[in-house]
Structures are given as structure tokens and as C-alpha cells.
Structure 1
């Protein structure tokens, strides 16, 4: 049974004529007649009473008509909705994102995307890098936005920005007038960092390990705003991407610059929805390059 047969059946039912049905469908009458004959053979019933001047539905034909009309209505609605998705007039984009990765240029990219595709809904899942990558592998998110450094070989990464890390201190701290600072000067300073499962924390600790030491961590938190508030009241120093700092803190560059790379992550060989592909295309057009393991 084919959709074409059902379409022919409905047209004959509505016009009560094989000839008029063929005319409206822009096909030959034999094509319509043959399609209905095959349909009747498949069903094992006669759908039309051909002994009258018009093609009149039999009792079985009327039952079939009631159901087929609903089916074809559903098919038309489905095709319309699929075309809406293809044309990016609707859809849902699920982004798994790490708190640090959500800095510039991600807000700008999201604004561009939303202006271009206002009818696509965007849903965020905020997790650490490991969890974001797990969500991608398990197909629970379309795309991930992560910091590079703990890459998974099941995932492709598109690098979109690099950002410098800076030292943040309060306006009352003794470092506040420094033009730059060496990481070794922080060895005995109390630091306020993100929790251990955060990749930024791991990157910072690794830099201290290069100096054969470890940071003196006074506080740790999952929330950037909590960290900044503690720094602002002079409870310690922190190290953050420059774009996460604000006027409540003093920012000091490192003598040896330390940067982090932000990338869009996607599971390898995964089918990409039209919405996800549009987001990825915008990122590539506006920012950087592809990066693979």
C-alpha cells in the first residue's frame, strides 16, 4: 500500500468519478483505475460500487475513507512540520555548556543565531566538561560548548575562541597596583577556585605543578559569582578568563600569558539536526577553525 494509492482513493471518493479524479491529479484515468484495483486486491474488499453512474463508496469503502482521510491529514501535517524544521522556522537546539565556556564569544554567537532564527528554541544544560561530553555521546544534547584540554576521541571540536586568564584581586589587596605578575608570586597566596571537577581548576593546578608546588586553596565554589564576591571582600585571589571579570575586581595579567580555548563539541558521525548545523555554520563563519584529535 502506497501513499499514492491513498491519494487516488480519496480523490475518487470526493469527486465520485475516476475521470474527474484523474483530471484533478493530472494523471491518466487508467493510472487511477489501476491503483484503486490494486488497493482493493490488497485489502480484499471492493471500495467502490462501479455499477452506478458515479463511483460510490461501498460500506467497506466508507470505513476505509474515514480512516484514510485522518491518515493523509496526519501525513500532510507531518510533511509541513518537517519542512518547517528544514527551513529553520521551528525546532529545538539543546546545548550542553560549561560555565566557563559560556563567556565571549558565545553570548554574541547566541544573539546572532536567535536574530537569524527567532523560532528555534534553545535549551541549555550546564555541566562540567566530562559531563558535557557524556551528554553528547549519549545523544542527550545536540552540541556542547567546552574548554579544550580534556578531549574525548569520540568527539569533534570546532575551536571558536582563545581567552587569556588573569589574576583577580580586590581593590584593597597589596597586588592591586601591579602591572603584571608571575605565577610563582601566588604560591603563598590564598586562592579561591572552582571545584575539582572543573577543567579550569585542573589547568591552573597543572601550571602550579610546573613550578613544583601546589596552589593554596582557601575556598572553592561551583559559582563564578560566589568566587568573585569572595575576592572582592579580600578573602583571597582567583584566576579567571578576562571576560568574566568586572569592575568590582582588579585584573592583573600574568607575565607568561596563560590562555584557554573554547570550542563547540559534537559527537563524531552523528546526524546533525538542521538547527544544530545552522548554529555550527554560524560559528565557523564568524569565528575560528576545526580542531580534531
Structure 2
């Protein structure tokens, strides 16, 4: 059974004539007749009473007609919705993001994307890098915004840029007048970091390990704002990307800069939706 046959059937039922149906469909009458006959043979019923001057639906044909009308309405709605998605007039884009996605270029880019595609809804799932990689591999997110450094072979990455890590302290801390600082000066200071499974924390720990030491971790949290609030009340120091620090904190650059790379991650060989492809294309135009 083909949509073409259903379209011919509805036109014959509407015009009560094979000839007029063919004229309105811009096809030959035999094409309409053969399509209806093939449909009747497939269904094993007679759809039209051909013994009258007009093509009149049989009882079975009337029942069939009601269902075909519903089918064709559904097809029309589906085509319309698909075209809306193709034209980026509708759709949902699910982004898996790390807490570090708050660095200044990312929110500005999201604002730019929303302005360019106002009808695309952005839905966010927050997690650490391993969690985001799993979400992407299991097709539970369209794209991920992550830190590079623990890459998964099942994913492709598009680098967006780099961020410098800085030491953050309260305005009451004894370091608050420093213009720069050595990482070794933090060894005896209480640090407030993201949780153990966070890649940023692993990067920071590795920098301490290069000095053959480990930091004193006083607090850990999944939330950047919680960490900044603890630092602001002088509960300890933290190390964050420069753009995540605000005026409530003192920021001190490291004498030996430590950089992190931010990237968009996608599942390899994934057929991207039009919305996801538009997001990736705009990111490449903006950052790459």
C-alpha cells in the first residue's frame, strides 16, 4: 500500500468520478483506475460501486475512507513538523555541559545561537566529563561542552579555545595583595575544589604532583557558586578559570600559567539533527 494509492482513493471518493479525480491529480485515468484496483486486491474488498454512473463508496469503502483521512492528516502534520525542524523553526537541542561551561565565551555564544535561532529550545544536562561522555555515547545528549584532557575514542572534539587557571582568594586573605603566585605557595593552604571525578580537579592535582606534593583539600563541591561563596568568606582558596571569577574574589595568576582547553564533543559518525549541526557550524565560525 502506497501513499499515492491513498491519495488517488480520497480524490475519487471526493469527486465520485475516476475521470475527474485523474484531472485534478494531473494523471491519466488508467493510472487512477489501476491504483484503486490494486488497492482493492490488496485489501480483498470492493471500495467503490461501479454499477452506477458515479463512483460511490461501498460500506467497506466508507469505513476505509475514514481511516485514510486520518492517515493523510497525520502524514501532512508529520511533513510540516519535519520541515519546521529542517528550517530550524522548531526543535530541542540537548547540551551536556560541565560546571566550567560558565566561562564567559560559552554563555555569550549560547546567547548568539539563541538570537539566531530563537525557535530552537536549548535543554541543559550538567555533569562531569565522564558523565557527559556517557550521555553522548548513549545518545542521551546531542552535543557536549567539555574540558579536553580525558578524551574518549568514541567521540570527536572541536576545540573552542583556552582558559587560564588562576588562584582565587577572599579580600581578607593574606595573599590578596599578590600580583602572582607560585603553586608551591598553596601547599599548606586549605583548598576548595570540585569533586574527585571532575576533570578540572584532576588537572589541578597533576600540577601539584609535578611538585611531588599534594594540596590540602578542605572542601569539595559540584557547584562553582558554592566554591566561590566559601572562598569569599575566607574558608579557603580555589583554582578556577579566569572567566569564572567575579569581583567578590581576588584573582592571582600563577607564575607558571596552567591552561585548559574547552571543546564541543559529539559522538563519532552520529547523524546530527539540523539544530545540532547549526550549533556546531556556528561554533566553528565563532571560535575556530
Q: TM-score, normalised by structure 1?
A: 0.96
Equivalent pairs counted in the alignment come to: 288
User: Where does residue 281 of structure 2 map in the other structure?
Assistant: 281
User: Where does residue 58 of structure 1 map in the other structure?
Assistant: 58
Distance, in Å, in 2 between the alignment partners of 1:69 and 1:14 is: 11
Deviations along 1:64-92, whole A, 9 cap, x unmatched?
11111111111111111111111111111
User: Where does residue 92 of structure 1 map in the other structure?
Assistant: 92
Q: Contact 2:102/2:244 (CA < 8 Å) preserved in 1?
A: no
Q: TM-score, normalised by structure 2?
A: 0.98
Q: Does 1:184 align with 2:184?
A: yes
User: Where does residue 9 of structure 1 map in the other structure?
Assistant: 9
Q: Contact 1:12/1:18 (CA < 8 Å) preserved in 2?
A: yes
User: Where does residue 35 of structure 2 map in the other structure?
Assistant: 35
SS at match of 2:165: strand
User: Where does residue 258 of structure 2 map in the other structure?
Assistant: 258
SS at match of 2:124: strand
SS at match of 1:123: strand
In structure 1, stretches of 5+ residues that fail to align are 289-293
Q: Contact 1:102/1:145 (CA < 8 Å) preserved in 2?
A: no
User: Where does residue 81 of structure 1 map in the other structure?
Assistant: 81
Superposition pairs of residues 189-204 of structure 1, within 5 angstroms = 189-204=189-204
Distance, in Å, in 2 between the alignment partners of 1:155 and 1:87 is: 27
Distance, in Å, in 1 between the alignment partners of 2:162 and 2:186 is: 23
Q: CA deviation at 1:104?
A: 2.4
Deviations along 1:127-157, whole A, 9 cap, x unmatched?
1111010011111111111111111100111
User: Where does residue 21 of structure 1 map in the other structure?
Assistant: 21
User: Where does residue 113 of structure 1 map in the other structure?
Assistant: 113
Distance, in Å, in 2 between the alignment partners of 1:244 and 1:66 is: 60
User: Where does residue 219 of structure 1 map in the other structure?
Assistant: 219
Distance, in Å, in 1 between the alignment partners of 2:161 and 2:8 is: 56
Q: CA deviation at 1:106?
A: 1.4
User: Where does residue 101 of structure 2 map in the other structure?
Assistant: 101
Q: Contact 2:47/2:57 (CA < 8 Å) preserved in 1?
A: yes
Distance, in Å, in 2 between the alignment partners of 1:266 and 1:222 is: 23
Distance, in Å, in 2 between the alignment partners of 1:163 and 1:123 is: 25
User: Where does residue 269 of structure 1 map in the other structure?
Assistant: 269
User: Where does residue 157 of structure 1 map in the other structure?
Assistant: 157
SS at match of 2:118: coil
Distance, in Å, in 2 between the alignment partners of 1:23 and 1:111 is: 52
In structure 2, stretches of 5+ residues that fail to align are none
* Further displaced range: 141-150 or 220-229: 220-229
Q: CA deviation at 1:225?
A: 1.4
